Every structure is written in C-alpha cells, then in structure tokens.
Amino acid sequence: MDNELVELVMEDTRERMARALEHVKTEFASVRTGRASSSLIENLTVDYYGTETALRALANFSVPEPRLLVVSPFDKGAMAAIEKAITNADLGLTPSNDGNVIRLGFPALTEERRKAFVKLVKTKAEDGKVALRGVRRHARQELENLEKDKNLSSDDIEYLEKVLDKMTQDEVAQVDALLAQKEQELLEV
C-alpha cells in the first residue's frame, strides 16, 4: 500500500468535509432567529462609493438588547448606503438612523414564520449532508483509481472505505446536532 498517496487522499477528504461543515454553519447563521445577530447582515454588500464592499468592513456591530442590533459605521457618509443595503436584503428589518448609528429592531417571529425558517434550515442541512456524501464519493473514486494503478489492494480499499464511511457519519452527526440546535433556537419563543 502506498501510504503517501492514501494519506493525501484522506487529508484532502478531511479538509473538504471540514469546509462543507463550515459552509453549513455559515448558512445556518444567515437564518434569522428571534434574537439579534450581526451574522445576519455582516456579509451584505454595500455600494460604498461605487465599490461593492462587505458591511463588516464598513462598520462595527453590537447587541445591547436581545432584539436590537446596532450598526456603527466607521464613515458616517456611508449611512445611507448601509441602510439601503439592509432594506434591499429583504430580511424583514427596518433600519432607523439617528445620524451616528443604525438601529435594527428584530420583531418577534410569528409561529408561521418560525416553521418556514425551520423548513429552510432543514433544507440547508440536507444540502450539507449531500455535499459531505459527494466528498466521500470523490474520495472513493480517488482510492479506486489508486487500486487500478496497482497501488492498493482490494483489502486496503475495503478498510479505507470503512474509514471514509465513519468520517462521513461523524460529520453528518455534527450537521444533525447543528440542525437540532438551530431548530431549538427558532422555535424558542
């Protein structure tokens, strides 16, 4: 068995699975719960003097109350552009501007809206699981190519496929745990 090639395939698989899990976390963070969170808006793009810029590069965020997010722009001249970006994002938030900061009040979610968000989160979790299985499938193909090149025996392939399955199950379990946590957050009144 060519350990170096196998280790490269396995390390690549671990990295890809970690990225897929990180993507799921990012997707979950973008779904609004009843609480204020900067993760909902910090990736919005703002037209800042003709350049598309991420909001997190233009302002600081603070959460003084559970249902209030305060956006403090570094440049007061960007206030209108930031407000416009938040309004256009259609997040159900109405910005209020006092000349120094932008306040975003998070209204309580209705039961219907909560259920819609739970459905959305479940879809994002399933997409994450599909991505993880795709990474596993890619790794299996790589290992089968090594077997065809006579670098691995069928026993080695069988063992490594079990390792891949275990890795995938562990990552899917993490997605399920994140999903349960997000569902609980969404259904919390």
CA distance 136 to 167: 9
CB 175 within 8 A of CB 125: yes
Going by C-alpha positions, the residue among 132, 136, 138, 111 that lies closest to residue 176 is 132
**Pairwise pLDDT comparison (29 vs 132), residue with the higher score:** 132
CA distance 86 to 106: 13
Residue where the block lists tokens 């259920």:
115
Which amino acid, 54? A
**Pairwise pLDDT comparison (41 vs 131), residue with the higher score:** 131
pLDDT at 2 over 60: no
pLDDT at 137 over 90: yes
Q: What band does 12 get if pLDDT is binned at 50, 70 and 90?
A: very high
Q: Dump pLDDT digits (tens) for 16-60.
A: 999 999 999 888 877 766 677 777 787 888 888 888 888 888 888
CB 139 within 8 A of CB 5: no
Which residues fall within 8 angstroms of residue 169, CB to CB, at 6 or more apart? none
Instruction: Compute the mean pLDDT over every residue in the chain, rounded to the nearest whole number.
Output: 86
Q: What band does 184 get if pLDDT is binned at 50, 70 and 90?
A: confident
The structural domains of the chain, ordered by start, are 3-30+110-187 (1.10.132.20), 38-105 (3.30.1360.40)
Which amino acid, 83? E
Residue where the block lists tokens 């989160």:
121
pLDDT for position 43 = 80
Q: Dump pLDDT digits (tens) for 67-93.
A: 888 888 888 888 888 888 888 877 777
For the chain, what is the largest distance between any 2 Cα atoms, rounded to a whole number of angstroms?
70
Mean pLDDT score, 174-182? 93
Which residues fall within 8 angstroms of residue 70, CB to CB, at 6 or more apart? 61, 62, 63, 64, 101, 102, 103, 104
Which amino acid, 26? T
Going by C-alpha positions, the residue among 116, 186, 119, 132 that lies closest to residue 23 is 132
Mean pLDDT score, 119-148? 91
**pTM across the whole model:** 0.69
Task: Look up residue 140 and give its two tokens.
Answer: 């299996």
